[in-house]
A and B are shown apart, each in its own frame.
Chain A
Amino acid sequence: MTDGKQHSLSSDLAVELTGIEKRFPGVIANYDIDLKVRRGTIHAIVGENGAGKSTLMKTLYGMHQPDAGTIQVNGQLQHFRSPSDAIASGIGMVHQHFMLADNLTVLENIILGAEPAKGVRIDFAAAHQRVNDIAKAAGTTVDIDMPASELGVGQRQRVEILKVLYRGANILILDEPTAVLVPQEVDELFANLRQLVNDGATVIFISHKLDEVLAVSDEITVIRQGTTVTTVLPHEINRKQLAELMVGSELPSPDGRDSEISTEVRLQVSGLTVSAPGQRDLVHDATFGVHAGEIVGIAGVEGNGQFELCTAIMGLLPCTGRVEIGGHDVSKANTHHRRNAGLAYIPFDRHREGLMLDAPLWENSLLGREHTPSLNRGPLINGAAARADCREIIDRFDVLTPSETVPAFALSGGNQQKLLVGRELSSEPSVLIAAHPTRGVDIGAQAAIWNEIRSARDQGLAVLLISADLEELIGLSDTILVMFDGLITATLDPASATPELLGTYMTGGTVEAA
């Protein structure tokens, strides 16, 4: 940390962005972005989901062109038409999702696309030498002759970094690098990055995990609602202040409830198990209940069985065990009947499981409710009634749209999500499964969705909330369950749960170890 700062004092700017603006249909993803990254520093860019971090990094990496503003790299004005232009000026990007060919070795993966040639043959000896040198310099200990298929997640990421370094990058962009790592791997990664920086590289690292940002970076730039808010030094600010900069206001108050949790169990899940052939159970023996007027949150690193749990409750995935809605056993019922029994679902991925992007909004709001008698005329759909119904949802949930006849793809993500939440709530469900209800939506929409969920809860809705946003979980839930590796490993009271405590459980730790 200390020697990092020494660098930052002496060096000039590796990257300077001025007045960057980037528009997409329906959204202004970035505007008035000003960013100065000093050479030889770790510069963190923090912001909420949907604040425009990734858009900005794609601009810097040449994946799309800004509508306004300038990019300077090492003092030179640049116009990147493609990532190869960015690579040529020394910028490399390590994506959130790794792209390694499993049937090649680490070495082959690294040199892929830039192989040193001897005549028409690949000069493996030279490649071996160069990659080893780079790996040594970066402090990486991956065996480069191993097949990529045998690498763990942390090692894969290390290989991705080597790949970027091999192509001569000295400015590295890392998009949410710690999202998939366990804590030890995070420490290792940060040690690696620090060594790279000490050797003169510059690291731009995107995250919304405030603790690690404060721990590892030399400077922090906050992005909120598409624009840069400020740049701060980590020792000048604490976690809470940083979070408030990100959100732009006081954090939502944990609870403002004026209703009681009823004793009536609306959703009862007993011994639910989702098996996978040849693997451990994806969900093992999940048992819990959700009462009327209660929000039960599920915390967990993605991929620990939350998706399977929800889809199994919805009847979309074969499972064993029992699911009861309002006292009725629906374990054998299909999705349609479960929905009729009062179940509603805000799915994990609104584009894949929620909306028909090419269809007009009114058809989207009709989906799953097309059998509602008031929206039908005999066996036909009553188009006028369905459109009126959609307009009601648009008004009530403040969906920003010119009309109910525009196709869903024309709306911004937040407005699509509001429509989806509106659709699910307007079937007057008794149980709502809300998976990442505010993922990728802007702050205004987030608050609106929270309010809707709260007010539905006050009217007796039972909610099962799955979220990666720990503040959201703690703020909304009455009880928090932690899922790890398919098991419900802990039941916590949000009043006493901190993000740190949740994080410990989510990574399979116990309180003693923390």
Chain B
Amino acid sequence: MSNEQQIPLGKDVGTGLKKISTSSTASGLQTGLFTLASSLAAVVIALAICAVLLAVTGKNPWQAYSTIIETGTEGDKLLEMMKRATPLIFSATAVAVGFKMNLFNIGVEGQYLFAALIAATVGSRVSLPAPLHVLFILIVAVVAGAAWASIAAMLKVGRGVHEVISTIMLNYVALSVIQWLFENFFRDKGAEGLNVKTKLLPASGRMPDIVDDRLGGMFFVALFVVFLYWVLVFKSRFGFRLRSSGLNPGAARTSGIGANKMIFISLLVSGGIAGLVAMQSVLGEIYAYGPNATPTQLGFLGIAVALLGRHHPIGIVVSALLFGFLDSTSAQLQLAEIPSSIVKLIQAITVLTVVIINEATIRWLNKRTAERTAATLIHRAEVAAS
């Protein structure tokens, strides 16, 4: 690349530098393309591995994949894909915020379930005009998620407890606390059996659907939160400090960025976003929290989605959609007598291959960058010498 840059002979070193610097934006774009290509390659490899597994177990991989594609690309299923992707976008973004400063928030699961219970309960006991009521419930959910995450934050900052340990443990604590609160205080006395729930939200506290019964407004809230994540983490001063603390905690601290403060704030932000994970269900589907009705496991899936999307805003949305797409086809697969667990298999293997291939790509890119930089400088020095 550097060779294309003609540096006039006899010019001083500084001039040469400025000439070459114009080519650097191209390399940033290239890096992005390589990243995209490697992610796509990983998905293809994952599909190939799954095809082998299917073939070995006596199923026809071609049939499985064509079922997935045929059913998944129907209009209905595309809406379902977006709907299924919505909570994953929230949980992956929550994980990504922590990851950007090397904090692994494994506690999204507990944070969102706790937030769902609190938001559903509080939301059903206030009356506000429609848009404000929904907004109020969303805010309660964010605050409740952040509050639950703050326990891990306090343990980390105050006692040095590693957040992986504390957030995993707090997931179990959350389940017990939720059960206790629900059974003793928040349960709607009317319902019985498997159908127990908190009191239903009034009509003013329900999120309007975009497409009737197919896609709720939370999908757009999710896209908005991803946009906020992008601005906050990649564009803002706070985000710069957060990423610096993740890239080199020692250098960040030496530069006057308070590590404890950053840990605290980023875990709260992460927990706050986590609080929104179940809101699609609470505000748009069951209008309440119910131990058997509110979806679970989304916090852990979010980790996989965040990894697959490389913690990048667009990556997160795309991988959540991919997961949603695969999920939306699983019922159809069962009808075609193909085990629907193939979907989980593809998801899991994709995450693994992406992690492995990304690591290799990054190393290769770093080496290439270093070599090209060296080559540019040597070339420039030769020109300056001649």
Do A and B assemble together? yes
Tell me the minimal C-beta distance from B258 to chain A in angstroms. Answer: 6
Task: Give the bracket for the number of chain A residues in contact with chain B.
Answer: 35 or more
User: How many Å lie between the Cα of A427 and that of B228 in the bound state?
Assistant: 30
- Pairwise interchain contact B377-A401, C-beta atoms closer than 8 A: yes
- Pairwise interchain contact A380-B17, C-beta atoms closer than 8 A: no
Scan residues 278-324 of chain A and give those whose CB is less than 8 A from a CB of chain B: 314, 316
- Pairwise interchain contact B2-A402, C-beta atoms closer than 8 A: yes
A-chain residues with CB within 8 Å of residue B239 when the two chains form the complex: 381
Q: Taking the complex as formed, is B235 at the interface, i.e. its CB lies under 8 A from any CB of chain A?
A: yes
- Pairwise interchain contact B370-A353, C-beta atoms closer than 8 A: no
Tell me the minimal C-beta distance from A300 to chain B in angstroms. Answer: 21
Query: Chain B: interface secondary structure?
Result: helix
- Pairwise interchain contact A410-B369, C-beta atoms closer than 8 A: yes
User: How many Å lie between the Cα of A437 and that of B13 in the bound state?
Assistant: 24
Q: Taking the complex as formed, is B37 at the interface, i.e. its CB lies under 8 A from any CB of chain A?
A: no
Of B14, B236, B258, B372, the residue contacting A334 (CB under 8 A) is: B258
Interface string of B215-259 (1 = CB under 8 A from A): 000000000000000010001111111011001101111111110
Q: Taking the complex as formed, is B265 at the interface, i.e. its CB lies under 8 A from any CB of chain A?
A: no
- Pairwise interchain contact B374-A26, C-beta atoms closer than 8 A: yes
Whether A336 touches B17, Cβ cut-off 8 Å, given contacts A352-B251, A367-B251, A381-B237, is no
Q: Taking the complex as formed, is B28 at the interface, i.e. its CB lies under 8 A from any CB of chain A?
A: yes
B-chain residues with CB within 8 Å of residue A398 when the two chains form the complex: 13
Whether A403 touches B20, Cβ cut-off 8 Å, given contacts A316-B254, A355-B251, A356-B248, is yes
Tell me the minimal C-beta distance from B72 to chain A in angstroms. Answer: 37
Chain A residue, CB-CB nearest to B235:
A380
Of A359, A368, A370, A371, the residue contacting B247 (CB under 8 A) is: A359
User: How many Å lie between the Cα of A410 and that of B375 in the bound state?
Assistant: 11
B-chain residues with CB within 8 Å of residue A383 when the two chains form the complex: 235
User: How many Å lie between the Cα of A225 and that of B245 in the bound state?
Assistant: 35
Tell me the minimal C-beta distance from A364 to chain B in angstroms. Answer: 8
- Pairwise interchain contact B251-A26, C-beta atoms closer than 8 A: no
B-chain residues with CB within 8 Å of residue A352 when the two chains form the complex: 248, 250-251
- Pairwise interchain contact A353-B237, C-beta atoms closer than 8 A: no
Scan residues 1-27 of chain B and give those whose CB is less than 8 A from a CB of chain A: 2, 13-14, 17, 20-21, 23-25, 27
Q: Taking the complex as formed, is B334 at the interface, i.e. its CB lies under 8 A from any CB of chain A?
A: no
Of B243, B248, B252, B367, the residue contacting A357 (CB under 8 A) is: B248
Chain A residue, CB-CB nearest to B373:
A410
Tell me the minimal C-beta distance from B350 to chain A in angstroms. Answer: 25
A-chain residues with CB within 8 Å of residue B374 when the two chains form the complex: 23, 25-27, 410
Q: Taking the complex as formed, is B60 at the interface, i.e. its CB lies under 8 A from any CB of chain A?
A: no
Interface string of A142-161 (1 = CB under 8 A from B): 00000000000000000000
The 5 closest A-B pairs by CB, nearest first: A368-B255, A25-B370, A336-B256, A403-B21, A403-B24
Known contacts A356-B244, A368-B256, A370-B240, then 10 further A-B pairs from the complex at CB < 8 Å, ordered by chain A residue: A335-B253, A347-B254, A352-B250, A359-B243, A367-B252, A371-B237, A403-B24, A410-B369, A410-B370, A411-B373
- 7 A-B contacts, Cβ less than 8 Å apart? A335-B255, A338-B256, A353-B251, A398-B13, A406-B24, A409-B370, A410-B369
Residues of A within 8 A of B (CB): 23, 25-27, 314, 316, 334-340, 345, 347, 352-359, 363, 366-368, 370-371, 376, 379-381, 383, 391, 394-395, 398, 400-407, 409-411
Residues of B within 8 A of A (CB): 2, 13-14, 17, 20-21, 23-25, 27-28, 231, 235-241, 243-244, 247-248, 250-258, 366-367, 369-374, 376-377
